[in-house]
Amino acid sequence: MTQPADVVVVTGANSGIGRAVALHLAERGMTVYGTVRSVDKAAKLLSMADDRGVTVELVELDVADDESVRAGLARVLAEAGRVDVLVNNAGIGGNGVVEEAPIETYAEVMNVNVYGGLRCLKVLLPGMRDRRRGTVVNMSSVAGRFASIAQGPYVMSKWALEAVSEQLAQELAPFGVRVAIIEPGITKSAIFAKNVEGTEPGSPYEPHLRRMFRFYQAALAHATDADEVGKVVHEAIVTDAPRLRYTVSWGGDEIVAGRAEISDEDWVALGAIVDDDEYYRAFSDAFGVDITNRP
């Protein structure tokens, strides 16, 4: 008897990584529901799906709102009968040094990047547990393993997502439900164009923000196509040898490995370097990604 196609929900499917994941999984024969905050703004997603000869069912849903999540996912369950895979992709950026970032920014970023996924889990996990089959894919970042300066709210949210994902993986193991954490490095995505907040002029933390933007400026020249993340998500879903973590995209492996190798004391000492050029050289040497613009 042929196994029916997996039914997949991809949150934040309207752009960037989420759109690439939704399209890639649809091309692999999965039944994909892509959540978007406004169906009226999903023309590009639908056009790209049409060009590829696939279908992505749109679900209007805001992961930051309890009732919106319940209503949107109830519609999916009513139409499809079940959900086999949840890809918690919806997310926002959040710049700011820890001292200066407003509490409201921390709350907003956590509400989308962490609580949004939890809202979806609470609706869909009971069915996965009952069937003793399913996969939860949580879209983290290398910033979930590496505390990038001047991105306090974003870093906090991704570290929190990594922690709750580790716990969830153990809790769901007896029920045959798998958890995969995807950790993209620098990937072509609209999130960078939207993530331009900085410090106030004259802030003592201006060097931190300058160094953070220098990293992204250097990295974007090598940014990985979001389709590569789609391939990794598909592998995490279908593999017979599942792992908890999957690192992908430019700089991902190097940054995660570099932070694991550098001591906490050397990490702190890196931040104490005053001269920008010296900092860029030290960062590049420690993490194996060149942000110095050396020829």
Walk me through the domains of the chain, giving residue ranges and CATH numbers. 7-197+224-254 (3.40.50.720)
CA dihedral sign of residues 200, 206, 208, 210: positive
CA distance linking residue 161 with residue 181, whole number of Å: 9
| Catalytic (active-site) positions | 154
Residues 6+ apart with CB under 8 A from 183: 140, 141, 142, 144, 145, 245, 246, 247, 248, 252, 256
Q: What are the structure tokens assigned to 212, written together?
A: 């953070």
Confidence (pLDDT) at 202: 84
CB-CB neighbours of 257 under 10 Å: 14
pLDDT, tens digit (0-9, with 9 covering 90-100), for 12-65: 999 999 999 999 999 999 999 999 999 999 999 999 999 999 999 999 999 999
> What percent of the chain lies above the pLDDT cut of 90?
89
Residues 6+ apart with CB under 8 A from 27: 52, 54
Confidence (pLDDT) at 35: 98
CB-CB neighbours of 164 under 10 Å: 16
Average the pLDDT over 123-128 and give the result. 98
Confidence (pLDDT) at 148: 86
Contact 289, 254 (CB under 8 A): yes
| Mean pLDDT estimate for the chain | 94
Backbone angles phi, psi at 184, to 5 degrees: -70, 145
Confidence (pLDDT) at 199: 64
Confidence (pLDDT) at 1: 45
pLDDT, tens digit (0-9, with 9 covering 90-100), for 155-186: 999 999 999 999 999 999 999 999 999 999 99
Contact 209, 219 (CB under 8 A): no
Confidence (pLDDT) at 191: 58
Q: What are the structure tokens assigned to 116, written together?
A: 């949004």
Confidence (pLDDT) at 124: 98
Residue 103 has pLDDT above 50, yes or no: yes
pLDDT, tens digit (0-9, with 9 covering 90-100), for 207-259: 999 999 999 888 888 999 999 999 999 999 999 999 999 999 999 999 999 99
pLDDT band at 86 (very low <50, low <70, confident <90, very high): very high
CA distance linking residue 107 with residue 274, whole number of Å: 31
Q: Residue 170, CB half-sphere, CA atoms under 13 Å: how many?
A: 5
Q: What are the structure tokens assigned to 162, written together?
A: 């990594």
CB-CB neighbours of 29 under 10 Å: 10
> What percent of the chain lies above the pLDDT cut of 70?
95
CA distance between the termini of the chain = 59
